[in-house]
Amino acid sequence: MLAYMRSTSTLFTQPLRVLRGYSISYLQADLIAGASVGVVLLPQALAFSLLAGLPPTMGLYAAVLAGIIGALWGSSSHLHTGPTNTASILTFSVLVPIAAPGSPEFIAAAGLIAVMAGVFRLIMGLARLGLLVNFVSDSVAVGFTAGAGILIMSNQIEPLLRLDLAGNGGLLATLRATVIQMRELHAPSMLLGLSTIALLVMLPKLQRKLPAVLVSVVTGGFVSWGLGLERWGVQVLGELPRSWPPLAALPLLDLHLIGQLANGALALAMIGLVEAVAIARAIASHSRQRLDSNQEFVGQGLANIAAGFFTGYPVSGSFNRSALSYQSGAKTGLANAFSGLFVLLAIFVLTPFIAHLPRAVLAGTLMVTAYSMIDRRAMLRIWRGAKGDTAIMLVTLAATLALPLQFAVLAGVLMSLGYYLLKTSMPQVLDVVPDASFQHWAHQPQRPSCPQLAVVDLLGDLYFGAANHVEESLYAILARHPHQRFLMLRMHSVQHCDISGIRALENILRVCRDRGGGLYLVRVRDPVLRVMQSTGFVKLLGEQGFLDEDEAINRIFHRVLDPAVCIYECELRVFRECQDLPKREFPGGVASLADYGPLPKVEEMSVHTLWQQLRSEAPPLVVDVREPREYRQGHIPEAQLVPLLNILRDSESLPRYRQIVLVCQSGRRSMRAAAHLHHSGYYDLTILHGGMLAWEAAALLEAVEVPE
């Protein structure tokens, strides 16, 4: 607990570390970068505050406080915090159902929601929840940003054309009202706004080093002043107060209003954090700076809290200003703090000029900015990618245009989580066979698999959401090959396994053993193995069930599989070990057990029962149907060697009126021999259950051994 408190306290002392490590040699570069960013921040702060339905001064105050606090308490040297188009349109969308834009209630709610969003971000930073932003996928961000850009452009139609669209909500309602009132548009405002748009589009193509936004806004202001367009009805910002950011009277105890704003504040917090962290990471990929997401959360939270308390509104990270800070040569975060001081100076010095800025000019500026938010290249890339990502992007885009923005964000996040859960709950379960070089395993449905052994790749985690899918998929694979008794699972892609996954493996193991076979696992990850050990699955499966992948097939082939199936029944050569194996044909060609028709129910005898009967006065005749090589490696002393092939060719050498106990490695060849003998007129037939594997496991091999 003490260690946590110490680490938490360091999140609030970030300015001390910034100042302590500051070199005076950085000052000139930071001042130049701060001034460069400030000249862009000033017109953007004015435009974005209007976009949010708020007085321009609130944008200026938010720019001052957020620029300074976000720079000092953040971890990035280049991330610039302040008013943004996304935060502005989201603020407007959340507040417009609660109060009329520009009203005292609307202004107070804007400050309150900034504080609430800041508290959410601060708590997430203190709780070390920086990883939560990963749950907002790129598809959600791209879809939401494109939708927000379209909404911003539609919301700027009113000031651009000087129409009265008040009371019309939503994209379609705005477009419909615009068409109806088209005859009432104000031509001077429209021409001024369109000229600003043209200048913003053309200027970067002619000269990239000039701040296009600042040049366009200043040019539009001088054109309006020089032609006296105010007398022609062009609306301007009006007189602005020259003062320090004042402390706002926020309704902090209005629980009803807090409840109304809660969802929107959470959406602002999440989207703002996603924006800020994504921008910081993008810049850091060029600057090679190491970032701390939790520190960035704290910086973003404190910036919003300060902006809310001092007559501002919600803020976030800005990509174009952050990129400009990096391109201008900023060395530390103080450069962005200097940009806030630049705006503060402008409040006292440039207020007379700002008062005469036409709203149509700022509307044209926002139109171009909003259009740039529609990242067509990213949308096309997602469209060409996975269908799930495409669906998430389109749903988020549609929800942004049709629903309140906080619900659009929530819809996109929930759909992303749902898509993630769907993908993880349905991992691929593929039966694989070796490739032509026997170096790699591959899913090749066109190639047949081994009739005794199924090899399966599990490509996903075995947790409660996926366990049933994996189990059913394995059942389906075994059902397609009813004679496969052994199953080998390649577990290299299974990073996590819980009790539901263990139960699924237990069920599969039971099915394999019911078939007279077994289950083998290779490449089990250490975390998964620890779960298997703690739940008792390792003991249930047995140590022999865990194999080294390089030796697994060789071990199973030579010690587990029934060689008679490979020699007499199987024409395939699936594994490397099959290549040199002799393939013997039955008389009349390759046959199968099904060729004998309905098989009789042949009794099975346990190894202990056979051991006792061998000591009786009338012991049965034990016929070992394995190959001579296997017989020499170990056999029941009383057993008579009659290889299966000899029985198939000539079964008349065995007595018909004596009980015959058939023995093989595991029981498969004994069933084959029993079917053939029964077809030839033998009835007193018994199979040793489990074959020599069971006999050896019961330690009876030596118990009945007799000296020569």
**CATH number, domain containing residue 490:** 3.30.750.24
To the nearest whole percent, how much of the chain has pLDDT over 70?
A: 91
Res. 589: pLDDT tops 60: no
Same structural domain, 574 and 606: no
Collapsing DSSP to helix, strand or coil, 66 comes out as: helix
The pLDDT of residue 2 is above 60: no
pLDDT at 632: 86
Q: Assign 352 a pLDDT band (cuts: 50, 70, 90).
A: confident
Q: What integer is the mean pLDDT of 634-642? A: 89
In a domain, 703, yes or no: no
Q: What is the pLDDT of residue 701?
A: 67
**DSSP states of 204-260:** HHH-TTS-HHHHHHHHHHHHHHHHTGGGGT--B------S--PPP---TT-HHHHHH
Asked if residue 344 has pLDDT above 50, the reply is yes
Across 273-287, 586-600, 663-677, the highest mean pLDDT is recorded for 663-677
Last residue of a domain, one of 357, 386, 415: 415
Region 64-87 average pLDDT: 91
Domain-embedded: residue 452:
yes
pLDDT at 302: 95
Q: Which of 415, 450, 480 is the last residue of a domain?
A: 415
The predicted-structure confidence for 105-160, as pLDDT tens digits, reads as follows 999 999 999 999 999 999 988 887 766 666 667 788 788 778 877 887 887 888 88
Q: Does the structure show a pLDDT above 50 at 532?
A: yes
For the residues of 629-674, what is the DSSP string, one character each?
HHHHH---TTPEE--HHHHHH--TTS-SSS-EEEE-SSSHHHHHHH
CA 62 to chain centre: 34
Chain-centre distance for alpha carbon 94: 28
**193 and 73 share a domain?**
yes
What mean pLDDT is predicted for residues 383-401?
86
Same domain membership, residue 409 and residue 269: yes
Give the closest residue to 303 by CA, choosing from 285, 318, 290, 283: 318
Residue bearing the bigger pLDDT, 574 or 173? 574
The answer to whether residues 402 and 258 belong to one domain is yes
- pLDDT greater than 60 at residue 688: yes
Q: Region 401-421: what's the mean pLDDT?
A: 76
Least confident of 170-174, 299-303, 617-621: 170-174
Residue 445 belongs to some domain of the structure: yes
pLDDT digits (tens, 9 = 90+) for 302-330: 999 999 999 999 999 887 788 778 877 88
What is the residue-averaged pLDDT of the chain? 84
pLDDT of residue 663: 94
Contacts for 349-355 with beta carbons within 8 Å, 24 or more apart? 350/42, 351/239, 351/240, 351/241, 351/242, 353/221, 354/46, 354/56, 354/237, 354/240, 355/236, 355/237, 355/238, 355/239, 355/240
Tell me, what DSSP letter sits at residue 565?
A: I
431 backbone dihedrals φ, ψ, rounded to 5°: -80, 130
Overall domain count for the chain:
3
CATH number at residue 693: 3.40.250.10
Q: What is the CA radius of gyration of the chain?
A: 39
State which of 415, 438, 455 marks the end of a domain: 415
pLDDT tens-digit readout, 420-467: 788 888 899 999 999 888 888 888 888 888 888 999 999 999 999 899
| Judgement on whether residues 326 and 475 belong to the same structural domain of the protein | no
Confidence of residue 5 (pLDDT cuts 50, 70, 90): low
pLDDT recorded at residue 388: 84
Mean pLDDT score, 285-306: 86
pLDDT higher than threshold 70 for residue 596: no
In the DSSP assignment, the letter for residue 272 is: H
CB count in 10 Å sphere of residue 254: 14
* Of 450-464, 571-585, 650-664, minimum mean pLDDT range: 571-585
Q: Which residues touch 26 (CB under 8 Å, ≥6 apart)?
A: 331, 332, 334
Highest mean pLDDT among 197-201, 545-549, 599-603: 545-549
At 216-257, the pLDDT tens digits run: 778 888 888 888 888 888 888 777 777 888 999 899 999 999
Q: Which residue has the higher pLDDT, 380 or 577?
A: 380
Q: Does the pLDDT value for residue 12 go beyond 50?
A: yes
- Judge if 397 and 432 occupy the same domain: no
455 lies in the same domain as 366: no
Per-residue pLDDT at 62 exceeds 90: yes
Name the residue among 134, 117, 126 with its Cα closest to residue 301: 117
Q: Is residue 530 part of a domain?
A: yes
Predicted pLDDT of residue 397: 87
* Residues 267 and 379 reside in one and the same domain: yes
338 shares its domain with 382: yes
Please report, for residues 50, 326, 563, the alpha-carbon distance to residue 350 in angstroms, rounded to integers and kept in the order given: 18, 26, 93
Grade residue 104 by pLDDT with cuts at 50, 70 and 90.
Answer: very high
Is 702 within the bounds of a domain? no
Contacts of 551 (CB under 8 A, 6+ apart): none
Q: Which residues contact 32 (CB under 8 A, 6 or more apart)?
A: 328, 329
- Going by pLDDT thresholds of 50, 70 and 90, the confidence category of residue 585 is low
pLDDT digits (tens, 9 = 90+) for 471-495: 999 999 998 888 888 999 999 999 9
Mean of pLDDT values over 541-558: 89
Neighbour-count burial of 195, counting CB atoms closer than 10 A to its CB (0-12 exposed, 13-18 middle, 19+ buried)? middle
Residues catalogued as catalytic: 664
Indicate whether 703 pLDDT > 60: no
Which helix (H) or strand (E) segment holds residue 434: the answer is strand 433-434
- Whether 183 and 263 share a structural domain: yes
Residue 692 sits in which domain range? 599-697
Q: Are 655 and 530 found together in one domain?
A: no
How far apart are alpha carbons 652 and 583 in whole angstroms?
25
Judge whether 586 lies within some domain.
Answer: no
Tell whether 460 and 560 lie within a shared domain.
yes
* Residue 420 falls inside a structural domain: no
649 — pLDDT class (breaks 50, 70, 90)? confident
Rounded CA separation 430/474 (Å): 9
Residue 249 lies in a domain: yes
**pLDDT (0 to 100) of residue 4:** 52
Residue pair 273/133 in contact by the 8 Å Cβ criterion: yes
Residue 595 token pair: 């060729």
pLDDT of residue 704: 39
